A and B are shown apart, each in its own frame.
Chain A
Amino acid sequence: DAMVIQNPRYQVTQFGKPVTLSCSQTLNHNVMYWYQQKSSQAPKLLFHYYDKDFNNEADTPDNFQSRRPNTSFCFLDIRSPGLGDAAMYLCATSRDPSTDTQYFGPGTRLTVL
């Protein structure tokens, strides 16, 4: 059974054209995370939501925003994608911030033309 679902799996956008990636979860977890992973690199945390509380990482560019309208869904908005934003974007969940395990979705591969 799918637990963390990401749509679409592949997204192509044009330089500067806003794009939204979506994540949903059936685990009823309180925390949802967004990571960026470039080729052969470690996943890098962009931000996370603990319930409705948004926590941005200090080095996340302003170009990246997120919304969490309810427990199940979380969106990543890239306002003006640049070529450097091409990457795999991973959504993950955990029961609470101190819970050990994170459950990842399959990722969305973003291509910027």
Chain B
Amino acid sequence: SQKIEQNSEALNIQEGKTATLTCNYTNYSPAYLQWYRQDPGRGPVFLLLIRENEKEKRKERLKVTFDTTLKQSLFHITASQPADSATYLCALDRGSSNTGKLIFGQGTTLQVKP
């Protein structure tokens, strides 16, 4: 079955630097991969989606890459700010076809220090 691996250790960076978070999956390449942000005690909020035929996607200071050969997605936040501190979850469809059922990684917590 499909598994997602995200670095469980918190990522601490200085304000203004670029944060890079990693999401690895173990089995078949999904049709798309999503990134969500989750603040403590809140539900996840959708950030970006990248499809298997897209190498890179950008939205303001966010950038996502998708490498189906490496079975990996990288999530970048440029010019990071303390307000970017949160847990970032990677998610993908649990089926080899588009089932609409997501499985989530456990998330990586980002801490941006002023």
Chain A interfacial positions (CB closer than 8 Å to B) = 4, 6, 31, 40-45, 48, 88, 90-92, 94, 96-107, 109
Contact = CB atoms under 8 A, between A and B. Distances in A.
B100 A31 contact: yes
Given A101-B46, A104-B44, A42 B100 contact: no
Nearest to B8: A40
A43 B42 contact: no
Which range holds the interface residue count of chain B?
Answer: 20 to 34
B45 interface: yes
A40 B7 CA distance: 12
Contacts of B105: 42
Nearest to A55: B101
A103 B47 CA distance: 11
12 contacts: A4-B43, A40-B8, A42-B107, A90-B44, A91-B43, A92-B43, A98-B99, A98-B100, A101-B34, A102-B46, A104-B45, A106-B42
A42 B46 contact: no
B47 to A, nearest CB: 10
Contacts of A42: 4, 89, 103-107
